[in-house]
Structure 1
Amino acid sequence: MVQKVYPDAAAALDGLLRDGMTVAAGGFGLCGIPETLIDALVASGVGGMTAVSNNAGVDDFGLGKLLRTRQIRKMVSSYVGENKEFERQYLSGELEIEFSPQGTLAERMRAGGAGIPGFYTRTGVGTLIAEGKETRDFDGETYVLERGIVADLAIVKAWKGDPYGNLVFRKSARNFNPMAATCGRVTVAEVEHLVGPGELEPDQIHTPGVFVQRLILATANEKRIEQRTIRQEAA
């Protein structure tokens, strides 16, 4: 067996990073984001990245850390509404953004991982999303061509993993992580629980180890709430 388990995030990313690379990051909001690997990217100093992720994190957390240090040049995202630094950089022209509807973005990752260069979808037809893109009519409906995404590096976070790289995600963390894991030329996963060979039930595995080249035990597992809303109890 190829040795996939690395001692820490820096070791797992060694030899994979370069300026200007495209990085796909799993996670849904702040759920299931690869915090340990993001911290290692910050420490590496790699710059000019294109980051592909459902969202841009929040100020000083998640991908927001890489925005704060100006290491991201372009974001390909669905939702960016919780990040003031993102807003500031975008409005000042420091950051490029490519918006992609959530379902379309998930399918673009899945398509890239499956070797599909493009697909047609009705989502975004007649909106700014479709500007400059090819359209075709099928059965009387107009569809827009979207390109599959293949990233230089994918970083994902799983609930459980084994030494072979098989991964199990938990709840909302499954929304984007499995697709991100397939679309990287190299995929590095961090897991909350690293179990032994044969401990994962085969029918419960969400991402087979064939898609994962390197694996670490996560050291950052903060369960942060993206937007906390509270109410005063009646007197």
Structure 2
Amino acid sequence: MMFDILKFITILALVMFAFSCGFHRLYRFYGSVHGYMCDTYGESSLKIVSCARPHGYATLLATAESLFWALFGMGDLNMLELTPRASPEGVLHIMGKPVFTETLGKIMFVMYHVIAVLVLLNLLIAIMSASYQITEDNKEVEWTYRRLQDVMFHRRVGLTLPPPYNLLVLVKDVTGWAWRRASPWQRRRDVGSHGNEEEEARIAKTSEETYKMVVERLAKRYILRRERATNGTG
């Protein structure tokens, strides 16, 4: 489930980054002029956008922030309007209203909401539903497998002794470890056995694989018997 959420967040971040690059590329000039006019003359070059806050698409970081808050209905639609205002002293005056840029920006904003809110949200619901269905289908196998693992673990030698007799196993292990450390003959034997480490690792790996295979077969056998008993054929 967490992997599905991380996958959705990654896809959403890629979509937001792509649209952020597009909006920043489209509105970079007007945002830069807006910032310069507000800093120099205290008056924006755009009629609707005020100097109380910077333009939402002037920088890439500001664009990503604006698109993020737009997902929660907190976006400022005035940033999409490019109606020019007469500049003081005629500096950096925008000649005419850029209708094409403004229309394209609004279309991109609608596409962003459709993709980010409708498509990706439904994709998240579908992914999580599929994961839940897979978990629901495998719950019997998983439960039986974990149960048999616990049973096999607690049936090992030394783990079934009641207290305080289980301390004898600990004393035995500590004594054996101390004997191997203190005995010169045992140390020489340990040094001579380093060449068989790969063989021992291979045997241990084979034993682990055999153990897992046995547990899986026991789990399937248990489920099969349970199904037969439920159907009345056992």
Same fold (TM over 0.5): no
Higher relative contact order (CA 8 A, sep 6+): 1
TM-score, normalising length from structure 2? 0.20
Greater Cα radius of gyration, structure 1 or 2: 2
Which protein is richer in helix relative to its size? Answer: 2
TM-score, normalising length from structure 1? 0.20
Which protein is richer in strand relative to its size? Answer: 1
